[in-house]
Structures are given as structure tokens and as C-alpha cells.
Amino acid sequence: MRIVIIGNGVAGITAARYLRKLSDHEIIVVSEEAPYHFSRPAMMYVSMGHMTFDNTKPYEDWFWKKNRIELMHDTVIAVASSNAGLHISLRSGSTIDADTIIFATGSEPAWFGWTGEHLPGVQAYVHKSDLEALERNVQGARNAVVVGGGLIGVEAAEVLHARGLHVTMLVRESGFYRRVFPAEESDIITKHIAAQGIDLRLSTELDRIVGGENGGRVNHVISSSGECIQADVVILATGVKPTIDLATQSGLNTDRGVLINDRFETSLPNVFAIGDCAQFEHGVEQLWYAARAHGEHVARVIIEGAGPYVRGTYFNSAKFFDLEWQVYGVIPPESDESNSVYWNDASSTRSVRIAHNNGIVVGVHGIGVRLRQETCVNWIESCTSIDIVQKQFQKAVFDPEFTRKVTV
Amino acid sequence: MNYIELTVPDAMRNHGTMWSRWKNRGVPAYLLALVLTGFYILVYWFPEPLAPLASLLDPLAQLLRGSAADRWFLYGTVYTVAVLVMGVRMLLRYRTQRYHVYRTLTLMTVQLMMSYLIPALLARMGSKEFYFSYFWPLKPEYLFPSNISALVQSDNGLLMFMGFWTITMTVVATPVLTYFYGKRWYCSWVCGCGALAETAGDPFRQNSDKTLTAWKIERWMVHSVLASVVAVTGLIWWANVDPASPVAPYAQDANNVYGFLIGSVFSGVIGVGFYPLMGARVWCRFGCPMAAVLGLLQKYASRFRITTNGSQCISCGNCSTHCEMGIDVRAYAQRGEDIKRSSCVGCGVCATVCPRGVLKLENK
């Protein structure tokens, strides 16, 4: 059997690795973005000079040949299905016949048709090409505007700040990440970002982007409150949407994403979709960790006939400049003392919140404190009472040796 | 990018590391490597040009040792100053992490006391110059019969203590401490080579080779050096016990060859001279027999490991990039596996640079 995977992000590559672990089938991975898999979350470290681009590749280049995973740096322009099987056409002119295809085409920036969004100096920060665009755009630049107060937005702000630009951030919400974080946590992050020297404009959206004279590069942006903010670079980080054009043209049922059931099966037999591009009945699950889990599970479905994909207890993490964030389970943004226990240290940069439902723990949340996933998930999945979790909390602390104690 | 960091570095940030020509094998790095290599060659084999430099240190040498400064005093002083000055940089750079603060202060203190002041004072007292922080097989001669018998059979209390100390540290303390804490108790908290690597060498840590090929070469080399030092020590003892044996005439030659190739060329000229090109742990990784012994203990008889926090790894590679020992930490972390590698010196920088709180040094 020949299995072709479209996309070499974490979803596609994890699928390829598990297909190889579980089978002896022929595996081909086609990627338009980069010849070798790289870690997308590491892009920012390349832009800040912490790592080289080569350092972001989790596997040495010989790994693929040794594991008989064929890599093709090409663009899939059409997928067709006939009685004889599946057929893939590539931009280079060649074609591949396949028995199984996995769409792992990921996502692309979601922009909202702003005036001036295509001016030189305006970019996203999602793909390898954006990494290269940033290198060009920061040359000689002094002022930058980042639009969007999500995880990519704060990464973009950190990168531009590290490159010596004055950064203004437009954030729709009244506090940073307030849509996800309870008020106290949002406040810690908001203050931390402002303390770095980022000009944080809360409750502010983008109105339009204005170019310089002669229709040149971006010059400034106008915010929703009518303010004019100087900008030589603008990063639009207003979220991502599934990349589905190829799937739609190939006749797959699509909505926001490629429609799949809980075994990643699309509307075409032997065609699967995973990761950011896929849409379950309950919606999309656009998360790096989820994409990796999809990759493993789709391999089990194809090779072992595994049953439905069941998502484990939710977890996520990020780093806001110097502040690490980890979450396990459910932390409602409206958490308060009635349904959670909150601790923060004297410097007010480290905090822990344990959310509970009538005394049964449902989520653990840490800022500036590292938390052991196994312990937190175990508490949540075994419906542990808040008293026990508080008493045993040291078991969950994953901070380096000699770090000041968390006394939640 | 600045050629030299004159400002206080940001705590734990690596901004611009990969663009610095000093830190990333640019022309200045090659020049520095040339200077360091040249300095070692002069110190070991052609000391005459260093005499004027050494004589500048005469007052200090008179004060500490009660004798004029020779090339070794010059070398020891330069080495200790490098550890102390770059130690301060290290303390500033990692000031938000207590593990690095405590570890760096310990390294600086051990270097200043055990490797510089105490040996000098011993010399001043007319006693044997002895380094309480070095043991067999890093200092092979400490277990040679000449030393052991002289130290143990002496009626001088200090010499007896030295004999007791070196045997106890090698035979008892090394396995016991390594069992509880891993090889880090020595390599990144006590050892003088480690002290220089962890302070002066910190800016170059990202230059270590992380390929699988490098790991294969490393295992062959470091264990070959260990086998050599065991053989040399054995020969010396054999020749001592049975001076009539056919190997006896060659024992001292073997020791001399080992001392030249490993003690001087490898640990000195290459070990420090190549800092800017291959990272600061070239010697520790490819050559140090002490590291080999500690590594075997760490791998097979130790509670120490770096634990991985569930599935939180994002495969970014900061850990591997900044591992001075060239361990591909990410390869383990992204599979959710604990890291138990014999070469790991437990410096803890992988855990520090991890942006997702995935790695933790533990003795469990």
C-alpha cells in the first residue's frame, strides 16, 4: 500500500512516523513549505537568534531515508479519485498514485480584508516564508504594530522587541488573553508585557493600514479609536483558519475545515484529514499538541483499524516573554474565589489557580510555576477533592531545584 | 550585534546568540581559538616568551607561595581569574535561577580555594602541592604507588590525610555521591575543568556537535581514554610490585606518552583551545576519563535523571541547541522519555531554556 501525506507539519510527520512504526507500507510526504520537517513553535527562536533554522529540525536529515519515508518538496495541485484509486498531481508536473491520502495541510492566517493589508511590510507569522519575510521587513525598521492578543501575537511582539523595534500591540479584549484567562492571570500577563516596554493598547482593534507616499511600504495604522500609530512593520496575528482549498477543489466535503468523523475519515474513501485543517462534528481543534495526537491516531486507524479518537484531558502551554504558562483541564475565565483556589507570590509574577466544581478539582493553571502534567491530569481524571490537591500540591510542582516554594 | 557584551546580559535570554561572530564560529572565534591554543602550547612546551608576563606576578607569587612566579603560577592565575570573572557574568546571566547561582558560586569557590590558594599555601609550607578537588583518573598519579605509599606510610599527618582523602574520594565518595546526585556533583559543581567550561565556556555551549555521528565518536574516544589510564595505572603498579617483570621498563614510558597526549594535548591545548569552535566541553565529552567513570556510574547506578513533563514538549530544540555536551535532549523530550545519558553533566541549562517547563533535573 502507498500512503501519501500532504503536509509535513507536526500532524503529517507524526502520522508518517507512526505509520512506519506500525507497518511496512510505502510512505510519501509532500510539502510545499519546507523540504524537511521543522518545529513550528520554534520559529520565534530563529527570529530572535536563539537558534538557527537547522536547530529547529527535530530529526537529522538521514532519519527519513533510514526509515523509508520519502520526502517531496513540491506542491499538490490536484487530488482525484477513480476506480483505480487515488491520483495526485504535483506542480512539478509529476503524478503519484496512492491507495491512501492524509490531508495535513494545516492552517493559514485569518485576515479580515483590512484596507492596506497587502502593503509591503505587512505580514503574518505562521509559515517558514513569514520567517524569511520578517528578516527583510525588520531591516532598517524602527516601529512595529502587532495586531492580535493571542499566542502568536505575543510571540510576534517578543520577536520584534528582541530585534530592537518599538512595538505597539492592538488587543481587542480589555486584558491580555482575557477571553481565556481569569482576571488575575490576565492582569499578571498584561503588566508583564507592558513592563517589557511593549505599548499595549487594550480594547483596541485595527481599522486600516496606510502606506507611505508613492504607494510604498506601510507607514502607519489607524486604530479603531482613530489613533494613528507609526509602523514600518505590521504583523497581523488575528488567528488562523484551516487550509482547505485543495480539499475543496478535490471534491471533499468542507466547511471551515475538511469535514471528518471521529476516525479522521473524510467524505472520500481512503482519504483522511488531521491537524489544523480538519473539522470534527464539534468543530476544529487547532492546537499543536492536538495535531500531534491526530497524527498518531490516524496511523492507528489506518493500520490497526482503531476506533474513535478520544481527546484526553485538555492541556496547553505558552511563554509570554519570561513568564511560562501551563494549564491542565478546565479553568473558566470567570473563575473567582467561589469556584477556585488562587495563590500568587509576593512579586506577583508567579501564580497557581486550582478550579473546582463543588469541591471537585477540574483544572490546574500555573503562571511562572511549572506543573507536572501526570499529577495534575491524574487529579482531574480521578475527581480529586480540592482539599487533597491543596494538601498534596508539592507533588505537582515541576520547578527547578532550589526554586521558592509554592504554597497554594 | 555587539562584539563583546559590555552591558549586563538579560537574564536567561539568548537574543542574538546565533548572529554573534564570537559565539558562532566567526572570524573572532577562530582568532580566539588560535590565541588560546597558542597560550597552551607556550605554557606546556615553550615557556620562555611567557617569562616577562610571569614575572609581573612575582609579588603575588611571593605572597601566596613564597617563591617567584613560574609559568604554572601564571597559568593557574589566568585560569582562576577567568573562572571568577566569567563566573560573575554567569551569575548575572542566570540570576533568576537559584540552581545556577548556587552551582556557579560553588565552582568559583572550589576553584579559588582548592585549585589555587590551598595548593599555593601547601607549597609555601614546604609540603606537597596537592589538589583536593582532583582525583584518579583525572589525576592518574594520585593513585600511583609512589604517592600512595608516601602518603599513607608517612608520619606527617597532612600527607596521611591527603592519602586518605584521595583514596576515599575515588573509591567511596565518587560512587556514593554519583548514586545520589549523578555525575553533576563533580562535573558541574566541583571540577576545575568544569568550572572553566561553565563560566568562560558558557558563551560557546551551542557549538557542541549534536549529531548521532558525534555521539558514536564520543563513546569510542572517552572509553578508550579510560581504558588507557587504567592500563597505565596497572602498568605502573605492576612495575612497582615486580620490578623484574618484562613490562616494567615500559611503564614510565607509557605514563609519559599518556601525560603528553591526554594530559597536555587533549585536556589543555584542544580542550580549552577549541572552546570557541566546538563548545566548552570538548575534553569533558571526548576525553576525560573521570567523566567516563562518572558516566558509567550515572547510567547504570544512579538516581539522577532529567525527567520529561508528560506531553508538553513542542520539539522546539532549545534544549538540544544549548546542551554543551551535544546531547540531543529533544529526541527524548518529544517522546516523553526521561533522559539518562552518561555524558550529561547536569548543568541544567536545558531545563532553563525550555520555554514550556518540560525538563527537570531529579534525583528520584
pLDDT at position B2: 40
pLDDT digits (tens, 9 = 90+) for A123-142: 999 999 999 999 999 999 99
Measured distance between the N- and C-terminal CA atoms of chain A, rounded to whole angstroms: 55
pLDDT digits (tens, 9 = 90+) for B205-241: 999 999 999 999 999 999 999 999 999 999 999 999 9
pLDDT at position B3: 40
pLDDT digits (tens, 9 = 90+) for A144-156: 999 999 999 999 9
Distance, in angstroms, between A311 CA and closest chain B CA?
13
Distance, in angstroms, between B174 CA and closest chain A CA?
22
pLDDT digits (tens, 9 = 90+) for A69-119: 999 999 999 999 999 999 999 999 999 999 999 999 999 999 999 999 999
Beta carbons of A315 and B312 less than 8 Å apart: yes
Higher-confidence residue of B135 and B147: namely: B135
**Percentage of chain A modeled with pLDDT above 90:** 97
Domain A2-108+240-304 falls under CATH 3.50.50.60: yes
Q: Where are the domains of chain A?
A: 2-108+240-304, 122-236, 315-396
Beta carbons of A41 and B314 less than 8 Å apart: yes
Distance, in angstroms, between A398 CA and closest chain B CA?
7
Q: How far is Cα B184 from Cα B281, in angstroms, rounded to an integer?
A: 14
Distance, in angstroms, between A285 CA and closest chain B CA?
17
pLDDT at position A348: 75
Q: Which one of A8, A45, A350, A372 would you mutate to disrupt binding with B, by most B Cβ within 10 Å of its Cβ?
A: A45
pLDDT digits (tens, 9 = 90+) for B78-117: 999 999 999 999 999 999 999 999 999 999 999 999 999 9
The reply to whether B14 touches chain A by the CB within 8 Å rule is yes
pLDDT digits (tens, 9 = 90+) for B283-311: 999 999 999 999 999 999 999 999 999 99
Yes or no: say if A354 and A364 are a contact pair by the CB < 8 Å rule. yes
Q: Where in chain B is the domain with CATH 3.30.70.20?
A: 303-363
H/E run at residue B362:
strand B359-363
pLDDT digits (tens, 9 = 90+) for A298-324: 999 999 999 999 999 999 999 999 999
Report ipTM (2 d.p.).
Answer: 0.95
For residue B203, the chain A residue with the least C-alpha distance is: A50
pLDDT at position A215: 65
Alpha helices (runs of H) in A7-107, residue ranges in sequence order: 10-22, 43-47, 62-66
Question: Which residues on A lie below 8 Å from B211 (Cβ)?
Answer: 60
Question: What's the mean pLDDT in B161-190?
Answer: 96
Beta carbons of A39 and B314 less than 8 Å apart: yes
The yes-or-no answer to whether A2-108+240-304 and A122-236 have a common fold is yes
Q: How far is Cα A178 from Cα A192, in angstroms, rounded to an integer?
A: 14
Using alpha carbons, select from A405, A406, A404, A324 the residue that is nearest to residue A367. A324
Question: Which residues on B lie below 8 Å from A318 (Cβ)?
Answer: 356
Residue whose cell numbers read 477533592: A385
Question: What's the mean pLDDT in B321-339?
Answer: 97
pLDDT band at B51 (very low <50, low <70, confident <90, very high): very high
Distance, in angstroms, between B33 CA and closest chain A CA?
22
Contact residues, A window 313-342, toward B, CB-based 8 Å cutoff = 315, 317-319, 322, 324, 326
Beta carbons of B360 and A398 less than 8 Å apart: yes
Question: What average pLDDT is seen over chain B?
Answer: 94
pLDDT at position B307: 98
Which candidate from B312, B315, B356 shows the least CB-CB separation from A58? B315
B5 pLDDT exceeds 50?
A: no
Q: Which fold has domain A315-396?
A: Enolase-like; domain 1 (3.30.390)
pLDDT digits (tens, 9 = 90+) for A264-278: 999 999 999 999 999
pLDDT at position A143: 98
> Beta strand pairing status for A76-82 and A85-90?
antiparallel
Which backbone phi and psi does B359 adopt, to 5 degrees? -115, 140
Beta carbons of A50 and B12 less than 8 Å apart: no
Question: What's the mean pLDDT in B266-286?
Answer: 96
Beta carbons of B310 and A60 less than 8 Å apart: no
Domain A122-236 falls under CATH 3.50.50.60: yes
pLDDT band at A347 (very low <50, low <70, confident <90, very high): confident
For residue A400, the chain B residue with the least C-alpha distance is: B360
Find the range with the poorest average confidence among A72-86, A300-314, A337-351, A368-382: A337-351
pLDDT at position B7: 55
**According to CATH, what is the number of the domain B303-363?**
3.30.70.20
pTM for the model stands at 0.95
A397 pLDDT exceeds 90?
A: yes
Beta carbons of B312 and A400 less than 8 Å apart: no
* Single-letter amino acid code for the residue at B229: V
pLDDT band at B1 (very low <50, low <70, confident <90, very high): very low
Using alpha carbons, select from B161, B157, B181, B115 the residue that is nearest to residue B364. B181
Range A89-92 contact pairs with CB under 8 angstroms and sequence separation of 24 or more: A90/A30
Beta carbons of B316 and A56 less than 8 Å apart: yes
pLDDT band at B155 (very low <50, low <70, confident <90, very high): confident
Using alpha carbons, select from A298, A306, A310, A296 the residue that is nearest to residue A266. A298
DSSP helix/strand/coil, A155: helix
For residue B96, the chain A residue with the least C-alpha distance is: A403
A198 pLDDT exceeds 50?
A: yes
Question: Which residues on A lie below 8 Å from B311 (Cβ)?
Answer: 289, 292, 315, 373
pLDDT band at B318 (very low <50, low <70, confident <90, very high): very high
Beta carbons of A373 and B310 less than 8 Å apart: yes
Which backbone phi and psi does A272 adopt, to 5 degrees? -120, 160
Strand residue runs (E) in B151-308: 304-308
Count contacts between A and B (CB, < 8 Å). 119
B56 pLDDT exceeds 90?
A: yes
pLDDT at position B12: 78
